[in-house]
Structure 1
Amino acid sequence: MIHKNLILIIVLILNFSTLSAQNGVSVKLIPVEVELSNVIAPQFPGGEAELYKFLESNIRYPYLLVKIDMEGDLDIKFNIDKNGVVHDVEIMRGFDPVADDEVIRVVKAMPRWIPASVSGQPVKMEQKLTVSFKADEDLKKRAKEQRKKETNDNFYIGSLIINETGASEINTGEVAPDVISQSDTLLNRSPQFPGGKDALEAYLKSNLKYPKRAIQMGIEGRVIYNILISEQGEISRIGLFKGIFRDCNEEAFYLIKKMPKWIPGLKDGKPTPMEVMLPIPFVLPK
């Protein structure tokens, strides 16, 4: 009995262990409870340590969040199907839309797993992860050095590492600091601010008024609103997703209220009401 308990303790420690964060990112696999005794959980090629290595090497810290000392955790879930392919990637507890999208991007690029099995037969099974973003002094130093080489703030800290698991190539695109949206096609398109992302960024910079109390108290961060764009392009609903300070929240709200009509989203080629996650940054002047 003692030996069995010792083995159980070791297994639990392994399940909750993480490798040291390489890009300010650390990952923890959340154990999934299984009722049946003849179930074998899915396994990442090479085991749990290789899973952490892959994710922590490829998930990068958005510079925009390092700049405002924004740290936090997110929980993500996904299914491993009978063929070991990752499906149904979904954020359960978000941190910031930019960081959430970065994690989703890398999780979707994972190589095939060894699928779960019941009595020797492959089955679909859900997996869950906690991903932590923590900006230590080394990361902040690297961020400042990298910023000197960049034309704007829309980049990540950390470089992609060629992994040994044979995963598909990972997209190295920049952070989208304004609208976090779905992929666009000719017939399916997310709502767009008139003039695009550059126009939206210019609108926010020229119209945002930093609340005096927030400046005096040294408050900065990103207020995030979930807005609904109607089929006519009007902002028909504004819901606070994540706030930082009442005055900043209110300023962001009125900024959105004053926006011009958007270009509505398309579904199957027809204008359709769609939601957009809109972060509005408040960065203290240096």
Structure 2
Amino acid sequence: MKKFLILILICYVQNTFSQYKEPIIKVDPDAVINKSEEIPTVDTTPEFPGGPEALHNDFLKKNYKMPNVSNLKGKVYVTFMVEKDGTLSNIKVLRDIGYGTGEEAIRILKLSPKWIPAKKDGKPVRWQYSFPINVTGNEPPSAAKLNNFPQNSSVIPVIEEENQVYNTAGIEVRPEFPGGEEALNKYLKDNYKNPQKDLKGKVYATFIIEKDGSLSDIKILRDLGYGTGTEAIRVLKKSPKWTPGKQNDKVVRVLYSIPIIVN
């Protein structure tokens, strides 16, 4: 009886430890799950050499180049296939926060050393793997230099650049669609035309809300195909002007991201 209880306790501890160490996306709007089309389950999942701590604290932290953007903070969600020989293939960005954060994630993963592949019945198998990369923007070099002016300098530093783009995270006054979020959802629902019958899902778009409330630099992070991204751009280009964001009581440009429901 004691041996049986000890065996159960060991299994529980191993299961808890593996769940803690495995850096998969558990709370993600797209419900990303590590999987493989060929096999539903494996005996052991792929692992970066040295484990998750080596992946995040050594490899990613030391090699990922953070963008020079003030107040930028968020996560880049990536997915890729760990092949039987441990190499990574089919590297994709599910969602980024702009400013080249997705491209940088792909660059880093292409440089990754070989992983320990997943195993099924003692044999290496291909396995799709997903996880988030934490991103925090750096202060732009020009702003850093201006901050270093001596107090008795005759030069008046201007820290905020005229065309600086802020992220919604940390901004004092967020931009808003006229009428608020409910009005935005109604606008999208009334104007978005589903290009494919019975197609359902979400299109993720990002754009800059200019100081005059107009939208610029409209981009599609991910769509459903069949022209769903093109239709999203068309609708956003027709959008009425927003109430712009503010920082330090000044109207500023703000990067904004939204999901558009297609049904």
TM-score (norm 1): 0.44
Of structures 1 and 2, the larger Rg is shown by 2
TM-score (norm 2): 0.48
